[in-house]
Structure formats: C-alpha cells, structure tokens
Structure 1
C-alpha cells in the first residue's frame, strides 16, 4: 500500500513539473509569416517573424537571427531587445543579403530566436531559403583589332567568357570568317562553364597567301546559349600592317541599285532552244567627286530573232547632301505605280524636310518610239522627318496620270501623318482624294481613300491594327477596297498566344471602256498558341475562313456568284540548330469546307515541308482538294471534275570548290497537279573567280510542261569585271605620324629623343608599322575625326590620341617607359570564421592615376596580378565583385608611386569574418544561454 502511495506521489510530481514547463514554454509563440523564400537574384530577401505574448502580463526578451550558410548574410548582427505587453504581438522584419556566389539548388536556412530575459525561456523557428537558377553569361572580345604582316602569322581572337549565373552553362561560340579564309565559313566551339567562373577562349587562324592579299576584312563572332538564345554579337577587324597606305571608304551597299556591287561590268550571251541568241550587257558605276556622288546604271539586251534593243533600268544620277537628280528609266511606287522614262529630282531645304518632283513618259524601253507610250505622268512630294512612319513625320503627294491604255486622266492628292508616337503606342493616319475623267464618257468621278494604323502594348499584350478604305472610283490601284487587319499577341513564358482578324473586300467601279476587275471578299478569324521547347517550336492555330467572288466565265453571258466557307486547323513544327546549321519546318493545314458549287461538305488539306542543312535546301508541298475559289473557278472553266491535287518538290544545292573559287548552284522544281499534269524545271549556275575582281559564269534553265509539245532550254555564258571605287576629291589630306621614345627630360625637344622604329599603331582600325625614322603615313583621308592608338607593350606606353583632320597634318606621339605593379592577395581566417569559398582567380584590380585614368586587370588562379602603367601616383584597389559578403579587405585602396625599372609590390589581405558562437544548456524550461 505504501509503495503504491510513493508511486502516485512520484507520478504527480513529474506531472506537475511537466505542467509547469509547458506553461512556461507557452508564454509566447514565434513563427515566420511565410513558409519559405525562393529567389534567383542577388540582393536582399525579405522575411517577417511574428512574436505573440500569450500571457496576461508583459514580457521582455532578446531577438536574434542566424544564417546556416555563407550564401545568406543577415543584416541584423546584434541582439535586439523587445518588450511586449500582455496579449500583444509584434512583426519583426529580417533582411538577408543573397551572396553573388550562391549556387542554384543550395538550401540555406534563417533561424530566428526569442529569449525571455527573466526566465531565459527560448524558442527557435527556421525559414528555408531556396536558390533558383539564374542564367547570366557575359562575353567580351578582348581584342577587336587584329593585325597581320606575313604568311605564317596567327590571327588570334581572345574571348573572355564569364558565367555570373548560379548554374553551369553550355554555350557555343560561332566565328563567321570570310570565304577566302575557310571553305566552311562558320566554325563553332562548344564550351561548358561552371557558375561564378570565367575563362578565356582563343580562336586562331594561320595567315596564308589569300589573307595577305587582303587589305582588311571582318570576322563576326556570335555566342549562344545551348538552346539557341543569343548572348552576344561582336565584330573583329583584321588589318594588314603598312607603313604607308591610302584611305579606302568602307563598303556601304546601295539597295536602290539592281546589284549591290558598284563599278562592275557584266557581258553575256544566251542561246535559246529555238536556236536564237540574246545578248546582255549590264554595267554600273559610282564616282565620288568632292561632296557629290555620280552614279550610272546600264541594262541593255538585244534579241536576235526580233532585232530589237531594250534599255531598261538604265539611268544617270548625281546627288549631294541637299539635292540630287536622276534621268533615264524611273520607277516610283505611290497609290499609283509609275514606271517609264523621264527625270526626277529632290531638294532638302533643311535637315527635316525634302521636296521631290518628277515626270515620265510611260514606256518601258528607254529608246522606244513615242507612239508606243502608254501615257504621261508627273508627281510632287513633300516629306517631313522622313515620312509618316517616323516620329512626328508626315508626307504629302500629288500625282497626275494620263493613261492612254484605259483612256483616262487621273488627279490624286494624298497626305499621311504620324499622329502620336510613344514607347507603348503609335498612331498613324492618312487620306487621299482623286478625280477621274474619261476620254469617251463625259463627266468626272470623284474618289477618296483613308487609312488608320496603330500598334502598341499593354504590359505583355501586344496589338496592331491596319485599316484601309477607298471608294469605287478612286484613282489609286486599290479601288473600292475595304481592308482590315487586326492582331493581338500575348507572350507568356515559353508560350505565345495570338488572335488575328483579316478582312479584304474589293468592289471597283469603272468607265465603260475600262477593264472591270473581279468583285471579291475574304475574311479570316484566327486564334493560336505556340510553345518553345529548347530548339523546337510547336504551334497550333484553328481558324475560320470565308470567301465570295463574282466571276464571269468565258462560256457565260452574266457573272456568276461563288462562295466558300471553311473551318481549318494549322499545326506547325519548327526545329533549328544554329551550330550545325540545320533547320526543319513542317506544317499541316486542313479542315472541312462548303461551297455553293458542291453538294456537301468536303475535306481538304495541305502540308509544307522545308529542310536546310549546309549546302542542301529542300521544299516539298502537297495539297488535296480546293482551298480557294480561284481553284474551283479554274477547274470549272477547264471542265475538270476530279478532285484537285498539287504536289511540288524543289531541292536546291550550293557548294564551293577549289578554295572557294568555284561556286555551284543547282535547283530543280517538280510539280504535278490536276490542271497541269506534270512539269519539270531545272536551273544551274557555276561561277568561277579567275581573280578577285574578274569572274566567269555559265547558267542553264530547262523547263518541260506535259501540256506543251516543246521544251524550253536556255544556256547563258558571261563574264564580270569589277573595278576599284572612283574617287575625285581635292579635300583629301595626308596624316603623318612620328612616334618616338621619351627618354630625356620632357622640356627637351623632340629631336633629342630616339624614333620608335617598327612601332605598331592602329588608326581607326587600320594597322601601321613605323619606318626606320619612326614615321607612318595615311593618305587621302576625308575630313573627319580619327583615333590614333599606339600598341602598348610591357615596356612602353602612350595614350590614345584623337585628332580632327581637314588638311595635311603632322603629329608626334611620345612613348613613355612603363612601370610595373605586381601583387597578390591572401585570406586570413580563425577557427570561428565563416566557412566560405576562398575565391582568388578572376577578381578585378583597378589602378587610378591622379587624372582619374583607369587601368584594370584580373587576378590569376593563385591570386596574383600584374599591371603595366605609365610613371605616376596610383590608387590600387581590389574590387569586391565576386568576393563573399563575409570578407573584409583590410588594406584596400593603397597609394603607389610607380617608377620605371622599379617593380612595386602590393598585397591585399582578406579577413574572413567570425561567427558569433553561443553555448546553451538544456533545462526543463528549454535552452538557456551560458
């Protein structure tokens, strides 16, 4: 009995003790307001802790925070005293600085602790912090001007690649060389870069005789992520070294010309399958005469069977900055397309405004008899700020057109304005009025047209709208037209959503003696979605299509009405791989349609396949059943009853041989459809460069239609000669640069210093080497500003010199003896220091002189660095970029007096901060601090 009482008493004591501990441990509660933090950015991560006093009396305590990993550096480094009234609560913000070296996938924790001062009752809560992927690769071309002098030299392109993201990245470096360097113009190099590291990749090419023959050339560098996203594009200029050279204007193609290449002559003869010949002569020339440009173009051909000579696209022009004129074949494209022989000119009274005017006789051949003319036209145009497509721009046009073919006279005036332009919204509008008269009918017909265009974005939603309306008797080409094009686009991550509405209607009116165009209308309603999977893009778009047309067949007296309605779906697949130069595109489009010419709903589809890889391009197309009313009408006119089908296969090949001197292009088109049973077309061209400015070519075209009794076969043989640019400019100047070593007192004359023989100098990307007198010459320079950059070595240095030239100029540049600054860095840690990654390589070192000029380098993997600088006082600093937040640089910003022949040593000490260590003991009241 007594033993039972002892057991009950012991049980009550233990229970009472536990009850007392429970009541003390629940005098307050502490928790984070959120379950976790996810971040992929460096910077500050915010969290909040809520503490609630659950008792009926006030409590006072201390609040502390800890981080479990160096990736998180907490801004609160001291204990915070907190007093809470009865039943009161408080929210405490915690700021955690995410380290720049925090790797993706690391899971750190923030610990928050509140301890009651009187009872030492303490509670801890933990917040997990997850580091998401941050993709950030940076690329820098360390040398953008390469120089070469002799065969066997190396073209070396150093590229620094820095992965500042928190995950390893696979990238591809693409180098596009000119064809004369390598047959495969694009070379690629794959690279895996760990996070928070950088490396230098060097691309090399050995200089051969072909390269030596070049004055200079460009190498394009593109760096891509593995999924094809572009990281950076850059250009490296390679230049041969000269002591004396003439200025050559950079190539700037004029896309108004038929061919981009200026100053060339091409002559050829074509033999046709009917045993007749045709002769062709094409030539163009451009001469720069002081501030003006004289241009000429000749396109002449003579056909032996008709003994006719044709001059087309033949003209002579002259232009300067503020005025110009052209005479010969003229083409202008307004509301009316005006093509003929005549003249046009422009005048710019100021930078913003341009006045244009011209007149033509509408015949295609420059030497045609006037009786063959289709009429005459004239126009005038005023443009402000380059027209209505530019901000605050507008354009006004007046046109007169006498068309002898239709027997009408047209007068047309139009205006187009940019009404509002901003980053998120653009609005443009225009209008036109016209008057149309006939040589046969009396009276005149007034017409008009108007259009409104706007586009913009609202957050991630992009939209565009283009709307046009004209009356039936409008003089322009678009008569009686209603054209509406509306589109919205919403990119969401890797998805892209869109909606499209297109409507086109044409109901032109005409005089009795004019040809009447077909009345028709089409409407299309699209919605679509696409998704990107690395190098694959998948798209899906259902749409509804309607079409109506009024057409008069050859066998009928009155016009017939046709209509079609279709519900279709388009599925598209596109794959691209830039490093291997492969592209594949496959689309399928099909659905059900009805027409007033068929009894029931029918199925139709078409598919398109495109593949390209290096020298091969392949296009394949197949269509089953009619897709448009034009196909239905054509079948009806020809009396074809069977289902319409169309198959087209077209491969093309391009390959170069003999060190890229010979270029072969081959192409074929095979087609089989219900209207024309079969057709085969073949074309091939071979170009051979005899020299860099003289080439030969042969071209063949073959065509065979099953519906034709004869085949067409032509062979053309020709040659092309290219000439150097023609420049006649009395304003050109000569720049003479003398480079010398400053070995004496600066107050002494230059003559007492020794010349810098064989010194390399870069002038606006062109490489020079001084002669045995330290002199180089750059001749025939146009007026302008030029940058002269001596190539510095580890012993001699000179600043970049900028100079304005408008006359013959001589300049002297002194090279100063460089001083050497070497240094190292080291970490200092104790047993209590944070356990961090002791990064030594790739840390930036900067040196700033008294004038504020900056010199930079980076440490190697051992933490060593070296700088070559001119003589002077420098402040040398270690930038904290890439260093842990738990590190302090003890002796940063050191003052150094750099002298030649005297190496200055610099040492940086990196102290790793200590953790605040606390010991706790366990009691019935919880953890207590010692």
Structure 2
C-alpha cells in the first residue's frame, strides 16, 4: 500500500516539475508581423517584431537583431533592454538598408532574439529577405556629332553602358549604317556586363572615299536586352570638315527604292512569246521652287504588234500650302469612281477648310481620240477639319457624270459628318441623294443613301458598327445595298473574345438599256476566342453562313434562285520567332453545308499555310468542296459533276549578293483545281546597282495552263537612272563666320584680335574648319534659325550663337581664354552613420555663371574633377541626384571668381547621416515611443 502511495506522489512530483518547466518555456512569444520581405534591393526595408508576455508576471530581458548577409545592414547595432508587463505586448521596429550592391537571388535572413534576465530563457525568430531581380541597364551616346576630315580617319562612336541593376545582363548594340559604309546595313555588338558595373564600347568605321564625299550621314543606334526588349534608341550624325560648303538636302537612306522615289527615269523593252516587242518609259520628277512643289509623272508604252501608244498615269501638278492644281490623267474615288484625262485643283481659304474641284473626259489614254471617250464628269468638294473621320470634321461633295457607255446621266450630292468624338465613343453619319436619267427612257429616278458608323469601349469591352443603306436607283456604285457590320471584342488577360455579325444584300435597279447586276445577299454570324502563349497565338471561331443569289445561266432564259447554308468552324495558329526570323501561320476552316441544288448535307473544308524564314516565303492552300454559291454556279455552267477541289502552292525567294548590289527575287505559283486542271506561273526579277543612282533590271514571266495549248513567256530588260532632289530657291543666303582670339581687353581700342585658324566650328551639326584668315563659309542656306558653336578646347571657349538667316549674313565670334576650376570630394562618418557605399566616381558637377550659362563635368573614380570656363563668377555645385539619400553635402553651392592663369580649387564634404532606432509599445491607443 505504501509502495502504491509512493508511486502516486512520485508521479505528481514529476507532473508538477513538468508543468513548471512548461510554464517557464511558455512565459513569452516572439514573432515577426510578416512572413517574408521581397525587395528589389533599393532603399530601406521595415519589419516589426512582436513580443507577447503570456505569463502573469512582468518580465525583463534583452532584445537583439542580426543579419545573416552583409548585403543587409541593420540600423540596430546594440542590444536593447526591454520590460514587458504581464499579459501585455510590445512591438519593436527593425529598419534595414539593402546595399546597392546586393545581387538578385540572395536569400538573407534577419534574426530577432529575446532573452529573459532572470531565467535566461531565450527565443529567436527568422525573417527571410529575398532580393528580386532588378533590370536597369542605361546606355548613353557620349558623342552625337562626329566629324572626319580625310580618307583613313576613324569614325568612332563611344557608347557608355551602365548596369545599375542587380543581375548580370547581356546587351546587344545594333548600329544601322547607310549601305555604302558597310555591307550589312545593321551590325550588332554583344556585351556581357556584370551587376553594378559600367563599361565603354567604341564602334569604329574607317572613312573611305565614298563616305568622305557625303555631305551628312545618320547612324541609328539601338540597345536591346537579350529578350529583345529595347533599352533605348539614339542617333549619331557624322559630317566631314569643310572650310566652304553648299547646303544640300539631307541624305535619304531609302532613296534607291525603285518606283518609290521622285526624280528617276526607267526605260525598258519587253519581248513576248509571240515574237512581238513592247517599249516602256516611266519617269517622275519633283522640284521645290521657293514655297511650291512642281511634280510631273510620265508613263508611256508602245506595242509593236498593234502600233499603239498608251500614255497613262501621266500628269503635271503644282502645289503650295494653300492652293494647287493637276492636269493630265486624274483619278478620284467617291460614291462614283472617276478616272480620265482632265484637271483638278484645290484652294484653302483658311487652315481648317479645303475646296476641291475638277473635270475629266473619261478615257484612260491621254492621247486617245475624243470618239473613244466614255463620257464626261465633274465634281466639287468642301472639306472641314480634314473630313468626317476627324474630330468636328465634315465633307460635302457634288458630282455630275455623263456616262455614254450606259447611256445615263447622274447627279449626286453627299454629306458626311463627325457628330461626336470622345476617348470612349465616336459617332459619324452621312447621306447622299441622286438623280438618274436615261437617253432612251423618259423621266428620272431619284435615289438616296445613308450610313452610320460608331465605335468605342465600355470598360474592357470594345465595339464597332458600320451600317450602309442605299436605294435601287442610287447613282453611286453601291445600288440597292444593305451592308451591316457589327463587332464586339473583350480582352481578358491573355484571352481575347469576340463576336461579329456581317450582312450584305444588293438589289440594284436599272433602265432597260442597262446591264442588270446579280441580286444576292450574304450573312455571317461569328463568335471567337484566342489565347496568346508567348510567341504562339491560338484562335477558335465557330460561325454560321448563309448566301442567296439570282443568276441566269447561259442555257436558261429566266434567272434562277440559288441558296446556301453552312455551319463552320475556323481554327487558327500563328507562331513568330524574332531571333530566328521565322513566322508560321496555319488555319483550318470547315463544316457542313446545304444548297437548294443538293439532296443532302455535304462536308467541305479549306486550309491555309504560310511560312517565312529569312529569304523564303511559302504559301500553300487547299480547298475541298464548294464554299460559295459562285463555285456551285460555275460548276453547273461547265457541267462539272465531281467534287470541287483546289490546291495552290506558291514559294518566293529573295536574296542579295555582292555587298547588296545584286538583288534576286524568284516566285512560283502552282495551282490544280477541278475547273482548269493545272496551271504553272513562274516569275523572277534581277536588280543590279551599277552605281548609287544607276541600276539594271531583268524581269521574266512564264505561264502555262493545261486548258491552253499556248504558253506565255515574256522577258523585260530595263535601266533606271535616279537624280538628286531638285531645289530652286531664290531666297537662299550665304553665311560667313569669322572666328578670332580675344587676346586683349575688348572694351579698349588697343585690343588685338588674332584670327583663329584651323578652328573647328559646328553649324547645326555640320563641321567646318576656318581658313588661315579665321573665316568659313556656308552657302545656299535656306531661311531659318541656325546654331553656330565653336568646338571648345581646354584653353579657348565661346558660347554657341543662334542666328536667323534670311539674307547674306556675316557673324563674328570671339574666343575667350578659359579659366580652370579644380576640385575634389570626401566623405565623413561617425560610428552611428549608415553603412553605405561611398560613391566617388561619375558624380555630376555644375557651374552656373551670372548670366545663367551652365557648365558641367563629372568626377573621376577618385572624386576629382576639373572644369574649363570663361572668366567670371560662378556657383559651383555637386548635384544631389548622383549622391545617396543618406548623405548631406555640407558646403554645396560655393561661389568662385574664375580668371585665366588662376586655378581655383573647390572641395565638397559629404556627411553620412546617423541611424536612429525606436521601440514602440502596443496599447489600446496605438504605438508609443519608449
């Protein structure tokens, strides 16, 4: 029995000691108020530690905090004694500075420790600190105006690349040169730059004879990250040094594009497979005469077999800002398309209004006999604010058309207005009325048309609507038309949803002597979704399609009605890879359809494949069964009973050779379908640049249809000569600049001025060198404002001069001897100062004189600098933008009197701020300072 009681007492004693130990270990809790901190290693991070006294007695202890990595600097350097009342809590703030050199990927921890004095009970908690990647590469063009003087000089472009981010980066520098400088117009340079470092790269080109003869060139510089994101763009201008030069138009890098530039002549001969020849001359010219532009275009060809000359697209025009006119072949596209020979002109009574008018004889050949004309047309138009597509714009048009081909006369007037324009909604509307008369029938037919367009967005929903309606006897091309186009689009993240409705119906009316167009209507109802996966886009769109048509076959006397209904699905895939220059597009469209000429539903599909890679482009298309009523009707007329199929394959190639002087284009189209069986078309063109402005081309076209016994084969040989832009301006002026050294007091008559020979001067970026008299000349300058800036040295200086030139002008610039300002900077700190990186190099220094002129430089890696400035009083400052926010510049903005031969020294002291730690007590009223 005693043994039993002894065991019970022993168990209770053990339980009591365990409870005592448990209560001792559970006398307080310690935790961070957040689970982790993520930062991009910039600035100060804040954290709070909560210590809770869960015992019934007050506890006293010591609090301390530590960092596991040198990249995290804690402001708390000494332990802190803390008293916490029973059942109370205290919050302790911890501030930490992330070093600017902290690299991405560092996983540091902040440890918080609290120890009770009496029991020595200790607990600690850890707060993870993750350094996120920060991409921050800066690229600066150190020189944007380059000069060169002779063959063999080096055209050097210095570029500073600074990586202020926390990860190593691969940077690509793309330089686009004019094609006469380098074989490849674009050259790339790759550099790997570590975090928190910078480097200077220099792109170099040797000056050759062609470059020396250029007046001015532009080099485009683009910097990219490795993923293709653009860092920045910039341009560098380079020009040769001259003592005397004439102003010429800037170089146009696209000047060699055939049929895309003015001032060129192309002559060619074409030999056809029937052993006949055709001769072609194409020429255009543009001359700027004072404030006007004179343009001319000639397109003439002669066909040997018919002895016919065709003169089309030939015209002469003159335009100034407020008026202009064109005579020759004229084309205007309104509700009626008007093409013929005649004249047109415009006049602008004010900035917002334009009046246009014109008249033509409707023949395509400028030299045709008048008996070959299809009639005459005239029009007038008034436009306000550039027309109805612009805010508060509108346009009014009247047209007269006498058409001898159809034997009708048309009178048409229309107006279109921009009714409302805002950021989220645009509304436009228009209307037209016409009168139509016939040479055979009496009476006239009144017609009309109206249209409404609106588009906008509602939050993330985009919508657009375009609607047109016209009567059957309307004089415009769209007679008896109802055309509705509605679309809504909703982007949701990487998804894009849309719905589309299209309806088109045409029921034109005509006089008895006119050709009656087919009556038809189509309707389509679409819904779709697409998703982007990096470089891949997938789309899926089911839709329903209906079509009806009245057509009179060759074997029938009355029109027959046809109809079709189809339910289809479209699946699309697009992939693009910019680094490899590959693009792929694949679409599949198919479903079931019925027609009133069929007994049951049938399946049809078509697929389209497009692939491009560098020199290759490939298009492939295949269709199985009919997709439209036109195909069904055509098969019926030809008596084809089998299922309609169509296969088309079309590859094209383009490649350049011999430093891009030779360009070869090859193309082929192979087609096989149920109607014409097989066809093959091959074409090729060779262009060779004999010189910068003279080229030769050869073109060949071959065509073979299985349904024809004859093949078509033509070859064309031609020459193209290009000319410089033509500028005739009587207001051109001559600028003469005299540069001299001011060696005495310019206010005294005894002052002596010495010519500054061989002095470099930049005029709007173009480089000049003065002759032995200190003079340079810039001739044939158009009126305008020009900046004239001597290139300063360490000994002589002059401010840039702004000059307005509208007559012959002479300018005198005196060079003043410079004064020197030298300086340095140093840091001071205490044991309580923030532990920061003491940056000395690359800090900006500015000096401002009494007139507000600014001179700048930067410190070297040791914190030293030197400034060369003209004589005068200056305020010299260290720019705070380059200094840490934990630094105060104690003696900034120093006043200096600078004079030649007297070196002034400036010293800046950078005091690092001290840290401050606060402990806050938690109570019902919030945090209280301890």
Question: Shorter-chain-normalised TM-score: which range?
Answer: 0.7 to 0.9
Spell out the pairing of 1:164-203 with structure 2 (5 A cutoff). 164-203=164-203
Task: For residue 496 of structure 1, report the CA deviation from its aligned partner.
Answer: 4.7
Within 5 A, what are the aligned runs for 1:5-154?
Answer: 19=23, 22=26, 25=28, 32=33, 34-38=34-38, 103-107=103-107, 128-154=128-154
How many Å apart are 1:442 and its aligned residue?
Answer: 3.9
C-alpha distance after superposition, 1:530-585 (max 9, x if no partner)? 3242xx2332232314141314233444223131413223232322325x6x2322
Q: Which moved more, 1:405-414 or 1:896-905?
A: 896-905
Cα offset, 1:157, TM superposition: 2.0
Contact residue 448 and residue 474 of structure 2 kept, 8 A: yes
Residue equivalent to 1:508:
507
SS at match of 1:242: coil
Between 861-870 and 199-208, report the one with greater CA deviation: 861-870
Write out aligned runs for 1:314-333 (5 A): 314-333=314-333
1:431 is aligned to 431
* Contact residue 759 and residue 770 of structure 2 kept, 8 A: yes
Q: Is the 8 A contact 2:25 2:121 kept in 1?
A: no
- How many angstroms apart in 2 are the aligned matches of 1:211 and 1:878? 42
Give the structure 1 partner of residue 611 of structure 2: 610
Report what 2:585 is aligned to: 586
**What is the deviation of 1:126?**
6.4
Give 1:650's aligned residue: 651
Q: Which residues in structure 2 correspond to 1:406-805 (within 5 Å)? A: 406-457=406-457, 462-489=462-489, 495-511=494-510, 512=512, 513-533=514-534, 536-552=535-551, 553-556=553-556, 557-577=558-578, 582-596=581-595, 597=597, 599-613=600-614, 615-640=615-640, 641-657=642-658, 659-748=659-748, 752-805=752-805
Q: How many residues align?
A: 909
* Structure 2 partner of 1:925: none
User: Partner of 1:635: helix, strand, or coil?
Assistant: helix
SS across alignment from 1:348: strand
* Structure 2 residues without counterparts, runs of 5 or longer: 920-929
RMSD: 4.4
For residues 59 and 484 of structure 1, the distance between their equivalents in structure 2, rounded to whole angstroms, comes to: 82
Deviation at 1:260, TM superposition (A): 3.4
Match in the other structure for 2:922: none
Q: Deviations over 1:65-111 (max 9, x none)?
A: 99888978999999999999999999999998877766544456678
Residue-by-residue CA offset, 1:424-452 (whole Å, 9 max, x unaligned): 44443333333333333444433333333
Q: Distance in 1 between matches of 2:488 and 2:57?
A: 63
Seen in structure 2, the aligned counterparts of structure 1 residues 68 and 332 have a Cα distance that, compared at 3 Å, is farther
Report SS of the residue matched to 1:475.
Answer: coil
Q: Distance in 2 between matches of 1:452 and 1:118?
A: 87
**How far is 1:707 from its partner?**
2.1
Residues 449/76 of structure 1: CA separation in 2 closer, same or farther (3 Å cut): farther
Asked if 2 retains the 8 angstrom alpha-carbon contact of 1:520 and 1:549, the reply is yes
Query: What is the rounded CA distance, in whole Å, between the counterparts of 1:423 and 1:78 in structure 2?
Result: 59
Give the whole-Å Cα distance in 2 for the aligned partners of 1:152 and 1:750.
Answer: 45
- C-alpha distance in 1 between matches for 2:704 and 2:537: 38
1:344-359 superposed matches below 5 A: 344-359=344-359
Q: 1:449 to 1:91 in 2, by over 3 A?
A: farther
In the TM superposition, what is the alpha-carbon distance from 1:213 to its structure 2 partner? 2.7
Which stretch of structure 1 is more off in the superposition, 619-628 or 678-687?
619-628
Segment drifting more, 199-208 vs 334-343: 199-208
| Structure 1 residue 501: Cα displacement | 1.0
Provide structure 1 residue ranges, at least 5 long, that are not aligned to the other structure: 920-929
> Greater shift after overlay, 355-364 or 508-517?
508-517
TM-score, normalised to structure 2, is 0.86
Number of the residue aligned with 2:220: 220
Contact 1:99 1:884 in 2 (8 A): no
Q: Secondary structure at the match of 1:651?
A: strand
What aligned pairs does 1:842-881 form with structure 2 within 5 A after superposition? 842-861=842-861, 863-881=863-881
Instruction: Give me the whole-angstrom Cα distance separating, in 1, the residues matched to 2:171 and 2:407.
Output: 66
Matched with 1:156 is 156
Q: Is the 8 A contact 2:376 2:401 kept in 1?
A: yes
Q: 1 CA distance for matches of 2:555 and 2:42? A: 77
Q: What is the match of residue 312 of structure 1?
A: 312
Cα deviation 1:261-311 (Å, max 9, x = unaligned): 222222222221111111212222222222222222111111111111111
CA contact (8 A) 1:411 1:435 kept: yes
Please tell me whether the aligned partners of residues 178 and 253 of structure 2 are also in contact (alpha carbons under 8 angstroms).
no
- Equivalence for 1:232: 232
SS in 2 for 1:799: coil
Instruction: Provide closer, same or farther for how the CA distance between residues 357 and 882 of structure 1 changes in structure 2, counting only shifts above 3 A.
Output: same
Structure 2 Cα separation of the partners of residues 778 and 69 of structure 1: 64
Partner of 1:927: none
Distance 1:744 1:116, change over 3 A: farther
Deviations along 1:47-77, whole A, 9 cap, x unmatched?
7888989899999999999988897899999
Map of 2:924 onto structure 1? none
Query: What corresponds to 2:362 in structure 1?
Result: 362
Give CA deviations for 1:335-367 in whole Å, capped at 9, x if unaligned. 221111111111111111111111111111111
Aligned to 1:371, what secondary structure does the other structure show?
Answer: helix
Q: Does structure 2 conserve the Cα–Cα contact (< 8 Å) formed by 1:377 and 1:401?
A: yes
Helix, strand or coil at the partner of 1:678? strand
Q: Contact (CA 8 Å) 2:73, 2:835: kept in 1 or not?
A: no
In 1: Cα distance, 2:75 partner to 2:426 partner:
46
Shift of 1:389: 2.5
Q: Structure 1 residues 114 and 6, CA, compared in 2 at 3 Å: closer, same or farther?
A: closer
Q: CA separation in 2, counterparts of 1:383 and 1:212? A: 49
Query: Over residues 457-494 of structure 1, what are the superposed CA-to-partner deviations in whole Å (9 max), with x where a residue is unaligned?
Result: 5565554444434344333223333444444555566x
What is the CA-CA distance between 1:6 and the residue it aligns to? 11
SS in 2 for 1:647: strand
